[in-house]
Amino acid sequence: MYLLKNKSGLNIKILSNLSFHSIFFKNILVNLYLGNELETSLTNLTIEYKINSHTFTLPLFSPLGSPLIKTSENAITIQRNIDGLQIITKLQLHKNLNCWRVYSNVTNQSNDTVTVSLVNTLDLGLCDYSSARLNEAFVSQYIHHEVYNTKEFGLSILSRQNESVFGKNPACLTFSDQTITSYATDGRDIFHQGKLSEFPNRRRQGEHSMVGLRTEGIEVIQNQSLDCHFYSFFFENVETIERAPSLSDTIKTCQLDWEVDDTKWENGRKTNVSLFHLGESIEGGLVSKSQLKELFPNPWRNTELNQEGTLLSFFTEQSKHVTLKEKEIHCLRPQGQILRTGNEYLPRESSLTATCYFNGIFISQLTQGHTSLNLFLSRKTGDLGTSVSKGLCIFCKLDSVWKRLGNPSYQTYLPDVLEWVYLLEGKTIRIQVNSNPDDSLSLSCFHSFSSPLEVLFSFSTGLDGENGDLPIPPKIAIENESILITPNQKSSLYERLDGKGFRIRSNQITRFFVSDDRLLFEKGKSLGLPYLTIKTEIHSELTFQIYGELNDEKVDVSPSLTKKENGIEHHSLLNSAMTLNNVKFLEMIDILPWFKQNAEIHFLNPRGLEQFSGGGWGTRDVCQGAFEFLLSTGNFSAIRELLIHVFSEQNEDGDWPQWFMLYGRDKHIRANDSHGDILYWPIICILTYLERSHDRSILDEFTTNQTRTSKRSILIGMEITLREIKNRFIENTVLPKYGNGDWNDSMQPKEPFFQSQAVSTWTAELQNLLYQKLVWFYDWIGKEDEKAEYQIHFQTLTKQIHSECMENRTIAGLVQFSPKEKNILYLHPLDTITKIQYSILPMIYGILSNVFTLEEAEYHLKIIKQHLTGPDGVRLFNKPVPYQKGNSTFFKRAETASYFGREIGLMYTHAHLRYCEALAYMGKSNEFFTQLNLTNPIGINKRIPQSRIRQSNCYYSSSDAFFLNREDAEKNYEQLWKGDIPLEGGWRVYSSGPGIFLKLFYESLLGLQFFHDGIIFDPMMPKDFDGFKINFDRFDTKFEVIYNIRRENGCIHSIHFNGVIIPLERILNPYRLGGFKVNQGMILKNKKEGTNTFVIQIE
């Protein structure tokens, strides 16, 4: 490694393969992705040259082209002679300034005229090191790029980190002394499928912050030279873009006082070329529809085609998804899946978690227990296709050349199995990864070659503690039929993991040649990188298993805690939907196994495809997604364990941390504070659980943690929380103070006084929901005084929401109380500060909490339809929060985020699902189903033509309108309502949304709510579903349900059980006719042998 530094505090590390490892200014990381010894870094200078109509591309900071190297304290110079060109490349730090430059001199020593252009790329983090390692995409979402084009200096780009970094806002200015003809500000505009692309000359504020500058193509004739400099100047603090230091002064200063480098060329400094540098890959051949019909002879469902009619994907069998290479090329986000091992509805530290990607990264981010810290195999970095060395990759030797398995011809998905299939001129290679109930992963390789296939497995381990980026190799030992891989004692993970790692078992271990990173380099010399490599020959198939060694303790698990369905068989739903011949309903049935798998990941092995740094539970999240998912299954034992776990994290004062970790070794890792709504969720959950289960014994369970002084029962914990809620009232009201924010994390107030002076109407409605459940609870346990108290609180709060948080019939999102002035309404038609008129969450919860009258509910549904509904669903607000180049004036992240996506993009799927819940509660069955299916990626292009092609078998936490940046979104937001803006899927899998969706499907659409002593039937089904049938098991009895639907938006009218009308009592609903509860006693009294039939009459 070469370390370049200057007096200003600037440090640049260059690896032995000439990749940029990192750029630091003091303790600020300037670049974003750390380079590694096996691949070319994103920060680079690339030469593009054209000779006799042939174009060539060469990254100059790479080991390619046999470079010669010389270095000094603040410079590195590289010389190559290739294709008749002498290319001298130099990286130099200014002796005093926070500035560096990349220089290239190209001399044409050939007889031909050569056209040369140079491309400078710089990925930018401008953050503290830990933030970059936590999630690079999140860092990118707060970097503002400002593009300048002046006659004097041409094109330059100033990039500013809008989030505070050690109390400052660092920035970087990039420019060249040559004419720049094209530029880009996001990696997705710079790379496509891992290759440099044409730059579109647009300011895209995305998830891969990167500056790309391309010079004009210049003809260089024989014996002539071309010189070009690219400069980067780092600003430690730029308070605002408008107040940035003088552009012209900075550019002039950057070009002065550079030292002359007179060091001599060194002998013996040679680079180490890896198999990844060579870039040889095996790409699966195209597969025809007729071939696929032979491979998958069962009927296909939900077939997906592109605009040209090319097959992209389909579903078949019970829950198999098949996706083709042609689809992967179209997807913004690489297709992938998270696998988890185990068979319990209980977080277990023995469970393995792995992420698998379509493009030949077979196992990435393999963890045991904590899903990001306990890293066995490293995680893939970035979505640009430029980094493929992390995790498990497989090389095959074909025609005497090692080639990496890349994109397959197609891939098949099951919730616990993935298979990659490569069709190669009559031959086939198949790779299969399984997650197993015994907490192991299996990987199998099959091929149809006539002779043995030589393969090389490349395991990039994460046991170094830095995602495989430190030269701290693991210990590797061969024992009997297994390979044991454990952390090096120098690793930060050694103590955390008690020196334990993982084991690979195979009955063919004696045929394995086990080594380290040396097999990955041309010269066969190790650089001490944390790699395990296995070379072997596969005759026709090979299988090995991976086991974690961290926690192999076998714990007896109650049968009630093992995975089980709610008794509703998926194949029964599938067959009934196919009989019904309703395409939209069939799409919804097909997504159920995948949303269930996603809900399990969120609950038990929490992380996502994009939000990979998980590992714990968000208090609000687990009390919605996981709780509601389990509620829909009727698995009260699992819910009980979940609630005990949540209450064991309760703070001394009755509040909860915003998030906390799951296992004993991580208990010290938890949030220091929480938003104003957090303490309501656990109480609402336990009251809902008690209502369903009547399990009074849970109230006597004792819990404690390191933040509390003593153990206490859950009942005492509930009472402490209720006292804390009262302590947080706005003076002379029962309205809750805003605190650190509410559900919308981006809307945290900038000014501290707002926390104590404002009310989130949504939180107030949540409090009202709690009060209603407390009235039931105290009635149930026979405490009449407390029951009466909360009845009064409910009535008072309902009145105060109307009097203080509503004006001109419309609910406000936020209300600021002032002792001397009239209340200020925000997110309301009278809002003159944010100028946002409507906020959807208080409208939704005004219905769900019974705050609204029927007339008010209908009025707000009209507002939602007219002002908050886009082609892909409802939006948090009717317009974006104003953006002023990242300046924070009122809210924090809502004003500093430069990326228009996720909650900043306003279409957050979680909120849309709650809107669907409100529609069902109101009895709008047709609209409920239509809106619910908008969250389903299967067939989304038919329902939402603006949707771009995306992975079909996973949950998306947002629908992101494709605006280039915040200014573009504000200027052209009206085009979104008209359906003129393309829509992309947001971050995947990790969300409470899948669990909420499943609850809505089973409890609202099918209308089955399970209680300990019966079932509530309250379906909200469109008339098109007339005759639909389902089968399920409950109370050790088999049931069939037949839905007779006589009108649109109908409610349940009567129930026949085994041919007899049964007397029933309606459940109260202030907006429509409620459902019926059928008691277990009545069922058992009238049941018969075999299947018992409910006929549901909806009128």
Give the phi and the psi of residue 96 in degrees, each rounded to 5: -125, -35
Rg (CA), the chain: 31
Section 662-676 average pLDDT: 93
Helix (H, G, I), strand (E, B) or coil at 695: coil
Q: Looking at residues 342-348, what average pLDDT do you find?
A: 92
pLDDT greater than 60 at residue 35: yes
Using one digit for the tens of pLDDT, what is the confidence trace for 153-175? 899 999 999 999 999 999 999 99
Q: What is the token pair recorded at 230?
A: 């690219």
Backbone angles phi, psi at 102, to 5 degrees: -115, 125
pTM of the entire predicted model: 0.96
* CATH no. for 277-548: 2.70.98.40
Residue 197 has pLDDT above 90, yes or no: yes
Q: Cα(824)–Cα(845) distance, rounded to whole angstroms? A: 21
Q: What is the location of CATH 2.60.420.10 in the chain?
A: 1006-1098
DSSP-derived letter for residue 461 is B
Please name which of 642, 589, 554 lies closest in space to residue 347, comparing C-alpha atoms: 642
Is it the case that residue 424 has pLDDT exceeding 70?
yes
pLDDT at position 63 over 90: yes
Report whether pLDDT(437) > 60: yes
Question: How far is residue 336's CA from residue 774's CA, in Å, rounded to a whole number?
Answer: 43
Name the least confident of 459-468, 879-888, 1045-1054: 879-888
| pLDDT band at residue 282 under the 50/70/90 scheme | very high
**Range with the poorest average pLDDT among 358-367, 500-509, 555-564, 935-944:** 555-564
* Average pLDDT of the chain, as a whole number: 95
Element (H, E) at 138: helix 136-140
* Residue 33 contacts residue 42 (beta carbons within 8 Å): yes
Burial 566-602 (b: 16+ CB within 10 A, else e): bbbeeeebbebbeebebebbbbbbbbbbbbbbbbbbb
pLDDT in tens, 968-1014: 999 999 999 999 999 999 999 999 999 999 999 999 999 999 999 99
CATH of range 1006-1098; options 1.10.287.3510, 2.60.420.10, 3.90.79.10, 3.90.10.10: 2.60.420.10
Task: Decide if pLDDT at 267 tops 80.
Answer: no
- DSSP summary character for residue 739: B
Strand 209-215 versus strand 361-368 pairing type: unpaired
Token readout for 506 is 């195979």
Q: Is 415 left (phi over 0), alpha (psi -120 to 50) or beta?
A: alpha
Q: How far apart are CA 352 and CA 354, in angstroms?
A: 7
For residues 905 and 894, is the Cβ–Cβ distance under 8 A? no
Q: What does the alpha-carbon distance between residue 30 and residue 9 come to, in Å, rounded to a whole number?
A: 12
Please report the DSSP string for 58-99 in residue order.
Answer: EESSSSTT--EEEEETTEEEEEEEETTEEEEEEEEE-SSSSE
SS3 1: coil
Structure confidence at residue 557 (pLDDT): 57
Q: Is 223 helix (H, G, I), strand (E, B) or coil?
A: coil
Q: Which residues on neighbouring strands pair with residue 91, listed in sequence order?
A: 76, 102
3-state secondary structure of 1007: coil
Q: What is the mean pLDDT of residues 590-594?
A: 97
> Of the given ranges (96-100, 469-473, 737-741, 772-776), which has the lowest mean pLDDT?
737-741
Read off the pLDDT band of 239 (50, 70, 90).
Answer: very high
Q: Is the confidence at residue 554, as pLDDT, over 60?
A: no
Closest CA to 213 of 98, 336, 122: 122
Distance of CA 805 to the CA centre of its chain: 34
Mean pLDDT of 31-36: 97
Locate CATH 2.70.98.40 in the chain. 2-256, 277-548
Mean pLDDT across 721-745 = 93
Cα distance between residue 760 and residue 766, in whole Å:
10
CB 1054 within 8 A of CB 1077: no
Q: Are 142 and 162 in contact (CB under 8 A)?
A: yes
- HSE of 278, CA atoms in CB hemisphere, 13 A: 15
The DSSP output letter for 173 is: E
**Do the beta carbons of residue 576 and residue 1030 sit within 8 Å?**
yes
CATH code that applies to domain 2-256: 2.70.98.40
pLDDT the model gives residue 556: 59
pLDDT higher than threshold 90 for residue 552: no
pLDDT at 748: 78
**CB contact at 8 A, 526 and 563:** no
pLDDT of 568: 87
- CA quadruple 895, 898, 901, 902: dihedral, nearest 10: -50
Most confident of 276-280, 381-385, 845-849: 845-849
Phi, psi of 13 (to 5 degrees): -105, 125
The answer to whether the CB of 2 falls within 8 A of the CB of 71 is yes
Percent of the chain with pLDDT over 90: 90
